[in-house]
Amino acid sequence: MPSPNQQNLKKKNAEYSEKFNNGDLKLPPGRMTCMDARIDPAAAFGIDLGDAHVVRNAGGCAKDALRSIVISQQLLGTREIILVKHTGCGMLTFTNDDIRAVVKENLPPAASAELGTTDFLPFPEVEQAVRDDLAFLKQTTTIREDTVVSGWSTTSRRGL
């Protein structure tokens, strides 16, 4: 039996699909933001349907998003990356050791072994995390040299 969330997803997707008539929109754009459920990227950044590939992950992390960015660039022609991190991000609230301890407490021993030394990429300060991600994006050879890359922090509401 489907969960209430699954039932809602099926219902809402069916309603959306019935009305969807934008299949001819271009594929190329790309923007990246945190996966925080409180953020609606379309409303927050004025993104219309077809305007952007919004890559969402914990902390809006460039390293975590690299696979999607490369696909967006190489197969779909994206030539600009806008990185956004926000105030009150959950990535500010823990360290790698903290999350490993929670996993060890809540999951079987095999889970800790499987995760090994995974870097969960937490950060202690939003603006520095934006700077670090920008440096990563600008130095990696997997991003096209002609790509416009900018980073933004909602704590400062300015580009970094």
Evaluated on CA atoms 17, 18, 20, 23, the torsion sign reads: positive
- Count CA atoms within 13 Å of residue 2 on its CB side: 8
- Check residue 27 and give its pLDDT: 47
- Check residue 126 and give its pLDDT: 93
Q: Per residue of the chain (160 residues), what is the pLDDT tens digit?
A: 766 666 665 676 567 667 756 556 554 555 556 677 777 777 777 777 778 888 999 999 999 999 999 999 999 988 989 888 888 889 999 999 999 999 999 999 999 999 999 999 999 999 999 999 999 999 999 999 999 898 888 766 556 6
Domain total of the chain: 1
Q: How many helices (H) and strands (E) does the chain have?
A: 6, 5
Helix (H) or strand (E) holding 30: none
Residue 65 is part of a domain; what is its CATH number? Answer: 3.40.1050.10
- Check residue 160 and give its pLDDT: 62
- Check residue 159 and give its pLDDT: 62
The pTM of this model reads 0.76
- Check residue 87 and give its pLDDT: 82
DSSP secondary structure, 34-96, as one string: E--TT--HHHHHTPPTTS--EEEEGGG-HHHHHHHHHHHHHHH---EEEEEE-TT-GGGS--H
The parent domain of residue 37 ranges over 25-159
- Coil, strand or helix at 158: strand
Q: Could you tell me if residue 6 is inside a domain? A: no
Q: Could you tell me if residue 86 is inside a domain? A: yes
Q: Which of 83, 78, 55 is nearest to 152 (CA)?
A: 83
Q: Could you tell me if residue 128 is inside a domain? A: yes
Q: Could you tell me if residue 14 is inside a domain? A: no
- Check residue 51 and give its pLDDT: 80
CA distance 99 to 95: 7
Q: Could you tell me if residue 46 is inside a domain? A: yes
Q: Could you tell me if residue 3 is inside a domain? A: no
Helix axes 126-139, 62-76, angle to 10 degrees: 40
Q: Which of 27, 32, 33 is nearest to 49 (CA)?
A: 27
- Coil, strand or helix at 133: helix
Q: Could you tell me if residue 12 is inside a domain? A: no
CA distance 129 to 137: 12
- Check residue 88 and give its pLDDT: 84
